A and B are shown apart, each in its own frame.
Chain A
Amino acid sequence: MKPFSGLLVFSCVLIPLAAVVSGAVFDLRMSDGSVDFFRQWWPPDTTHLGVAVEESAKTVAIAYLGTIFSAWLAVPLGLVMANPFGLRPWLPLAIRSSITALRTIPELVLALVFIVLCGLGAMPAILTLCVHNLAVMTKLFSEKFEACDERPSEAILITGSNVFVTHLFVKVRQLEPILLSDYFYRLEVGIRTSLLLGVVGGGGVGQLLVNHFKSFQYRLVVVDVAVICVLIVVLEVAGICIRRAVR
């Protein structure tokens, strides 16, 4: 087998098939008014720039609040799930099955449920992200803990130190950069998700964008999109910096 050959075959056969099945082939035409439509987007209307920035800060805050609690919770949960202590298997298994179950619920569904429970605004978005990220990060972290070198933990355990605490701090110490990088990835995903959640009323710049779009204020939409782009880039850079500092 040559490298990529499997992938190539897989792609060549399935791309046409998928295109046909999805109906995309038959949609390869622009609507007649498309040029006019895009003309309405220019020039950008920057009068609402301040609002857009404000709202994107809100988005970041939502994403942060929606991930940070999960991250703290996911560390011990992930460790128990990885089970380096030789616990009876029911506890890790219980955690594993519950987080898997949680992960199966689409975020959108969660968001709709929380909107009903808490009303429109940031709260349902934060809760949605919390629940979903707890599930995802527990899984991610536990995989890292499983793959982690056991020797340092053993070396500390032999001193007579508390078993759970030892595993916890030794592994976290060891994996800190990796866990952080996982976290930043989830934060980024969280921001994108919270943008989407804006569509269903989750607040933040996502909601702003949808509102502008739906009220045909396309010049404002351009600004919103630009702000979102900048936001993502800034976040990426910040993530790199922090991870470099922690390495």
Chain B
Amino acid sequence: MISSLQVKDLSLSFHSKDKTTVIFDQLSAEFKAGELTAIVGPSGAGKSTLLRVISGFQRPQNGTVQIRPSDGVSGPSREIRKGECGFIFQDFGVVPRMTALETVCSGALGRLHWSCGLLGLYPRAIQEHAKSILNDLGLKGKEASRVDIHLSGGEKQRTAIGRTLMQEPSILLADEPIANLDHAAAINVMDILQSVVLSRGLIGLVVLHDLEIARQYASRIMVLKEGRLTEAHLERKKYNLVIVGGGVGAISTLHHVTRPLTEAAFPGFDRQSPFKIALVERNLDHIGGGTAFSLAGGKGLFNNPYRLLHERLREWIWTRRESISSLLAETDGFSAWLDANKPVLESAGSEEDLAEVYFPRILGGLWLRNMAAESLDQGAAEHRHGSVSVDLFEGEVDLVEKGGSGRFNVAPVNGLTGMAGQNRWSLFNFELGPFIRGAWQDLQLEADQVVVANGETERTAQAGMVSLPWELRDDVLRRLKKGAECVRVISLGTGSIFLESLWELQTVLRDGQKVQMVGLSSTGQVPMRGELSRHYCNSRYQLKHFNQILSASLSPALRLQNLLNWLVEEYEAAEAEGYSRYDVWTTVLESAVLNEFVESLDPHHRTDYDLYCKPKLRELTRFTNPALVDLCAELQAAGRVSLRSGGVKSVLFGDEIHLGVVSDGREISLSADVLIGSLPKHLLSVKATGHTPRLSGVAPAKNQKVVVDASYQSVDTPNLFVIGARSSRHNSCRETQFGAAFRSGEEVATSILTGLSAPEAGGAEIAH
């Protein structure tokens, strides 16, 4: 086995008539076995040429490529290198008209008699081996398919990888192996390449143009620029612990349970580093129900064994929350627990079948990782239920497809699993994506400012502004310490987690201080509300329904029903406590959510909806404000408003309209639809008093401008802020529609959103 590959003083330049192009200028580097090195660089830098030089296709003008100590100064001859370099091409390099099986078999040609290739006849042993390789690569049943016409790009590339596996090289060179593939296929191929290189201890060099992919998969990254190869340093955040777990529910529960415990348990706990929770899981296949269902597109599946398992898991963790540190440290207890719960899984058929159904997107990554582990120590056949643990390497992020928030946010976060490798923890999922990206500080909150959020995760990710709930919590804490009477938080998209984290604030509250929170969970689109005082915390109250409502495993109709049950209960409680207006806010908020639900129902569920939900809905109407409903209808009829989550619903609160513009005093004109549509953008608090909302009579024609007199200077809404992020759509809306008028406003704050209740004091009255 070759342990290192040395490139020394490589020089190569191409001469044309009038100029000389230097490709390599005294390029030297060393690559070690078991390392996957990504080579990145501008196009034309010679990345591919470097691989061709190493593989012997191209001869350098100077310098050596040394793969054995015995290689002479002139470098290895073609013969020496032959068979020792596997090469994966961007355009797959499969021989047209060959079958997949033949293609894989042809990898063995280096050690077979030449007539085998010529006649296309391979020994039976080779054919069997090729079949098993194809099987491992997920190409079972494709053996006889023609590579050029019957296989997709990803399958072609996997076949080509299969050929390389058959070749059993010591060096694996891959020249933009994923450039011609779509994202899913690319991830799949990179997964395979990585596991091949790492598990077989090959010298892996992969030319990539996607730095994100490189960060995710490579052990190290080298940049080829101006003829030299330099090491790129992967900047990785330090984390206290690794988050592992299935689904938001588990994590949020864990978060609030474990934080104090973890701080105590880990002396080196670094408050500045993001907080992570580890949930030890021994088998990648057991993924929490919530995640499973968001992976499966949230299709209404009942009695999902994974879901049941997940529920039990949470329960299990909950009962052991006192000893969470030992839970983190040892896997045995958990294994025992899993064993005890095996029947749940077994009752549902084979795991593989289930995985096909529930985790279609995972298979490529995780399943193959398992495969790699299996091929490492063949004979450990019980790897499915057995104790196979998968090494995770720095920079490796598993399973971020299709998760609620994880999809857009976890993927870019590298280094998250930095410590997983040494601990041999299996990582199966984390959905805490939005909270990892720590851009909270970018918002530069000042006390008593209003920050707006829009709860849609996708846009959140695009806008790149996501908040860390615990940082937010610290912020709230700061405000409370400064003596704020009431801190209000509207958290769209990150609701559940923040709500959970609120609990811990209780101990610092003085008499009379309050924290109010309204949120919408990004995953479940679940509304939630919490209120916290020294003596009272009603986020518990909300949590009572949390599981039911969040449970993505329920059918949409059932979710809706739960939602409505919860709302009615909430409203009644709120009414009893003397709240009125912010319930209406919730109603409006919910009407959007409900509409979405109802629209998404298939006919079967629609019947459920008619049977169970409609009466509830009628029950709800008694909480709504007729004037508001009229306005909504009017605006909708005029095509101004589309009630969908994230936008307009945040406009109307009770019998007030709070519209947002932050103005430096200049007059601005807005069309009603733009104004409403982009509300979460700019702060204004035009407070229409009384029961006739300011805009109710306007219903302007499309693009007609409505002049809003924004003659106030700032909005004094004490301690109200919202976490989440702005949407890029709204950003562009601002730029095109609002123009310069808002530029200065932006510095002041971001936007509006109010409505917990009318501020007891200090609400801005705007002169019209």
- The judgment on whether A and B are partners is yes
What is the interface of chain A, defined by CB distance below 8 A to chain B?
A: 151-152, 154-162, 165-166, 168-170, 173-174, 176
For residue A160, which residues in chain B have a CB less than 8 angstroms away from its CB?
A: 82-84, 109-111, 167
A169–B115 Cα distance when bound, in Å, is 10
B163 at interface, CB cutoff 8 A: yes
CB atoms of A173 and B110 under 8 A apart: no
For residue B118, which residues in chain A have a CB less than 8 angstroms away from its CB?
A: 165, 168-169
Top 8 A-B pairs, shortest CB-CB distance:
A160-B110, A160-B83, A155-B93, A161-B109, A160-B82, A162-B114, A152-B95, A165-B114
What is the interface of chain B, defined by CB distance below 8 A to chain A?
A: 55, 57, 82-87, 89, 91, 93-98, 106-111, 114-115, 117-118, 120, 160, 163, 167
A169–B109 Cα distance when bound, in Å, is 12
B65 to chain A, nearest CB (A): 14
For residue B91, which residues in chain A have a CB less than 8 angstroms away from its CB?
A: 151
CB atoms of A158 and B97 under 8 A apart: no
Say what secondary structure dominates the interface of chain A.
Answer: helix
CB atoms of B117 and A165 under 8 A apart: yes
A72 to chain B, nearest CB (A): 13
24 A-B Cβ contacts within 8 A? A152-B94, A154-B89, A155-B93, A155-B94, A155-B95, A156-B106, A156-B117, A158-B86, A159-B107, A159-B167, A160-B82, A160-B167, A161-B106, A161-B114, A162-B114, A162-B117, A168-B118, A169-B117, A169-B118, A173-B95, A173-B96, A173-B98, A174-B95, A174-B96
A3–B286 Cα distance when bound, in Å, is 67
CB atoms of A166 and B109 under 8 A apart: yes
* Closest residue on chain A to residue B97 by CB atoms: A173
**Number of residue pairs across A and B with beta carbons under 8 Å?**
75
* Closest residue on chain B to residue A247 by CB atoms: B97
For residue B163, which residues in chain A have a CB less than 8 angstroms away from its CB?
A: 155, 159
Known A154-B87, A168-B118; 15 more pairs at CB < 8 Å: A151-B89, A152-B96, A155-B89, A155-B94, A159-B107, A159-B110, A160-B83, A160-B167, A161-B106, A161-B109, A161-B114, A165-B118, A166-B109, A166-B117, A174-B96
For residue A162, which residues in chain B have a CB less than 8 angstroms away from its CB?
A: 109, 114, 117
A221 to chain B, nearest CB (A): 46
For residue A159, which residues in chain B have a CB less than 8 angstroms away from its CB?
A: 82-83, 106-110, 163, 167
CB atoms of A154 and B111 under 8 A apart: no
A159–B112 Cα distance when bound, in Å, is 10
Most buried by B among A156, A158, A165, A168: A158
CB atoms of A151 and B120 under 8 A apart: no
For residue B114, which residues in chain A have a CB less than 8 angstroms away from its CB?
A: 161-162, 165
B103 to chain A, nearest CB (A): 9
A105–B115 Cα distance when bound, in Å, is 37
A179 to chain B, nearest CB (A): 12
CB atoms of A161 and B117 under 8 A apart: yes
A169–B122 Cα distance when bound, in Å, is 14
For residue A157, which residues in chain B have a CB less than 8 angstroms away from its CB?
A: 82
For residue B82, which residues in chain A have a CB less than 8 angstroms away from its CB?
A: 157-160
A154–B91 Cα distance when bound, in Å, is 12
B113 to chain A, nearest CB (A): 9
For residue B85, which residues in chain A have a CB less than 8 angstroms away from its CB?
A: 158
For residue A151, which residues in chain B have a CB less than 8 angstroms away from its CB?
A: 89, 91, 93
Most buried by B among A151, A152, A165, A176: A152
A38–B87 Cα distance when bound, in Å, is 71
